[in-house]
Amino acid sequence: MRSISTFLLLLWATSRAHGDSGAVWVTPHDSYSSSIGVLGCKVDTNRIAYWPGAVDCDKICVSLSYEGRTVNLLRVDQSQGAHDVSYDAWNYLYTGRSATEQPTAGGAVAMQFADEDASACAGLIRTDGAKLPLSAANSMNFLASCLARPDSWVAKNYVLYNILDSTCAWGHDETCTLDDWPAANQATCPSALGDPVALTSAPVYNIKYPSGQTVVASTGEVVDAQNNGIGSVGKSVNMFYLVHEIIYT
């Protein structure tokens, strides 16, 4: 127990000493969320970091490395203290395989991390110009803090959508604009802002721990229980992640 405690202290000290790099204990997280309103249907939800500390307007991209494998992760949510990452990212780093192909159970694993330039995570964002997709109805507090820093990355690289929730279950899949900021702090959208209509055209999927099943994030519905969670939709999603690993890692 003493040796483990000493190792933890050394990891913490290394992380604190370097500031933007070091070692952390990484744990798997299987349900997408974003405290700043980043829309899961517009990003790679299998490459998300749920880390301590508030999400920054510049430092939204980190990398993790383990046994020769490295992935980039978007920091769009805040944990209660653990260094959580998407289950698929944790599984890939730990085993070299996707969680849909070879799901693995486990706890905290010591991995190396580093802050990266936001451009390193461009491949994880599915919008024109890799602009950060934010909920027009529920991201204004975060966006306002970034717009108050006009040279910050988010202030220069965001797009608003009339989607209410981070799992894209409600609203309209349409872009909005801030026409008179800061005099007006409400976005203008083609449809009524915050209209709580069911949205079914842009589902978000989670890979469940430790089964590796793919489920609809908003309902928990298994996409294909007979194929370990990978139905026709899940296969398409998984192929995207495979291509991503080849290009960006």
Residue 196 falls within a domain, yes or no?
Answer: no
What is the enclosing helix (H) or strand (E) of 6?
helix 2-18
CATH number of the CATH domain containing 80: 2.40.40.10
Residue 64 falls within a domain, yes or no?
Answer: yes
What is the pLDDT at residue 109?
98
Helix, strand counts (H, E) of the chain: 5, 11
Find the domain containing 93 and state its range: 2-122
Residue 66 falls within a domain, yes or no?
Answer: yes
Residue 208 falls within a domain, yes or no?
Answer: no
Predicted TM-score (pTM) of the model is: 0.83
Nearest to 43 by CA among 129, 136, 124: 124
Residue 48 falls within a domain, yes or no?
Answer: yes
What is the pLDDT at residue 2?
40
Residue 216 falls within a domain, yes or no?
Answer: no
What is the pLDDT at residue 15?
42
CA pseudo-torsion sign 87, 92, 95, 97: positive
Residue 194 falls within a domain, yes or no?
Answer: no
Residues 6+ apart with CB under 8 A from 131: 125, 157, 158, 159
Kindly provide the residue ranges of all beta strands, DSSP E only, lying in the chain, ordered along the sequence: 21-29, 48-51, 61-66, 69-78, 83-86, 109-116, 132-135, 158-163, 171-176, 205-207, 214-216
What is the pLDDT at residue 21?
84
Residue 212 falls within a domain, yes or no?
Answer: no
What is the pLDDT at residue 7?
42
The tokens describing 103, both together, are: 């799901």
pLDDT less than 70: residues of the chain: 1-19, 224-249
Domains contained in the chain, number: 1
